[in-house]
């Protein structure tokens, strides 16, 4: 809803104009990759058949496979579809049974993210339906699906255009196709129905025994650490205080030693001039 005063703005968006889609240009490499993918033909597992007029078989590709291929080729956010026009051709109601028969056509446009688009027409009809609502519902869905598949096939062979090649069709129907394997693990289940795997119980006694066996080769001294503070703490030394290396050595106070006269020789001792001098007699204190 526009804000009050927006009608007076010159740059206000016109609600009656069609909004231009956001365009993201493809690079040259991306275009070459898409072109190579779109040129490939489909395998037999993508092609279905039904009975046609005069005992013939009509080959086609189902809508869910066509949409899955488009998501695979362009990406889930690389393309979009829109209904351009719906035209009701006829609506007939029986006067007695009130059964409804109608036919209508739908034009669908498929647009890529770079702005490239193709559009085509699809048709839907129903005969002798009990009510108008159900008749229009079935006919519109049928016509929209038909138009979507016809618009997608304009992009290349891999999106269904190869089915219109009779030579290819006559050869591909002879190729045996094995049905796809059903894998229950790929199903998106509700959380109440998801199988929860039981985790194995852990034996704590065995873990404790193994834990202490790993430390059997260590002694108590291996776990002792010097009390130097926490290993993660950083202690800054005081730069103003003199370091231990620059301090002068402190004098050592030794106790006075008494002369030991017991080790002195009692005989004459040679003097400095080569003579002998006599030691003085030892008193009782010197013994």
Relative orientation angle of helices 63-74 and 132-152, to the nearest 10 degrees? 40
Top mean-pLDDT range of 48-57, 107-116, 168-177, 240-249:
107-116
Report the pLDDT averaged over residues 120-127.
Answer: 96
**Which pLDDT does position 287 carry in this prediction?**
47
The set of long-range contacts for 34-38, using a CB threshold of 8 Å and a minimum separation of 24, is 34/73, 34/74, 35/156, 37/73, 37/156, 37/158, 38/73, 38/155, 38/156, 38/157, 38/158, 38/159
pLDDT at 244: 52
Largest CA distance in the chain: 171
CATH architecture of 22-172: 2-Layer Sandwich (3.30)
For residues 50-68, give the mean pLDDT: 91
**Which pLDDT belongs to residue 92?**
94
- Name the range with the highest mean pLDDT among 167-181, 209-223, 273-287: 167-181
pLDDT the model gives residue 171: 92
Q: Is the model's pLDDT at 16 over the cut of 80?
A: no
Mean pLDDT to the nearest integer, 156-185 = 90
Place of tokens 């609502």: 133
What is the per-residue pLDDT for 241? 52
For the chain, the distance separating the N- and C-terminal CA atoms, rounded to the nearest angstrom, is: 128
Domain ranges in the chain are 22-172
**Residue 284: per-residue pLDDT:** 53
Task: Tell the burial category of 125 from Cβ atoms under 10 Å away from its Cβ (0-12, 13-18, 19+).
Answer: middle
pLDDT, tens digit (0-9, with 9 covering 90-100), for 202-230: 666 666 666 656 666 666 665 565 555 55
Distance of CA 160 to the CA centre of its chain: 32
């Amino acid at each position: 809803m526009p804000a009050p005063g927006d009608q007076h703005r010159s740059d206000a968006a016109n609600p009656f104009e069609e909004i231009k889609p956001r365009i993201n240009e493809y690079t040259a490499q991306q275009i070459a990759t898409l072109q190579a993918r779109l040129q490939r033909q489909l395998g037999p597992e993508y092609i279905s058949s039904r009975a046609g007029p005069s005992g013939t078989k009509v080959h086609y590709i189902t809508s869910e496979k066509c949409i899955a291929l488009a998501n695979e080729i362009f990406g889930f956010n690389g393309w979009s579809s829109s209904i351009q026009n719906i035209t009701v051709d006829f609506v007939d109601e029986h006067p007695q049974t009130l059964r409804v028969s109608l036919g209508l056509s739908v034009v669908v446009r498929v647009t890529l993210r770079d702005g490239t688009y193709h559009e085509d027409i699809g048709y839907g009809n129903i005969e002798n339906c009990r009510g108008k609502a159900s008749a229009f519902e079935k006919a519109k869905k049928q016509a929209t699906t038909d138009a979507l598949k016809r618009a997608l096939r304009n992009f290349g062979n891999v999106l269904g255009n190869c089915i219109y090649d009779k030579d290819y069709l006559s050869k591909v129907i002879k190729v045996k196709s094995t049905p796809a394997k059903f894998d229950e693990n790929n199903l998106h289940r509700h959380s109440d129905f998801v199988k929860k795997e039981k985790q194995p119980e852990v034996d704590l006694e065995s873990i404790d025994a193994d834990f202490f066996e790993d430390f059997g080769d260590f002694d108590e001294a291996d776990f002792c650490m010097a009390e130097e503070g926490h290993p993660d703490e950083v202690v800054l030394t005081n730069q103003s205080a003199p370091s231990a290396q620059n301090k002068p050595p402190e004098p050592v106070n030794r106790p006075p030693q008494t002369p030991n006269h017991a080790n002195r020789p009692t005989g004459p001792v040679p003097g400095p001039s080569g003579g002998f001098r006599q030691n003085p007699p030892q008193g009782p204190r010197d013994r």
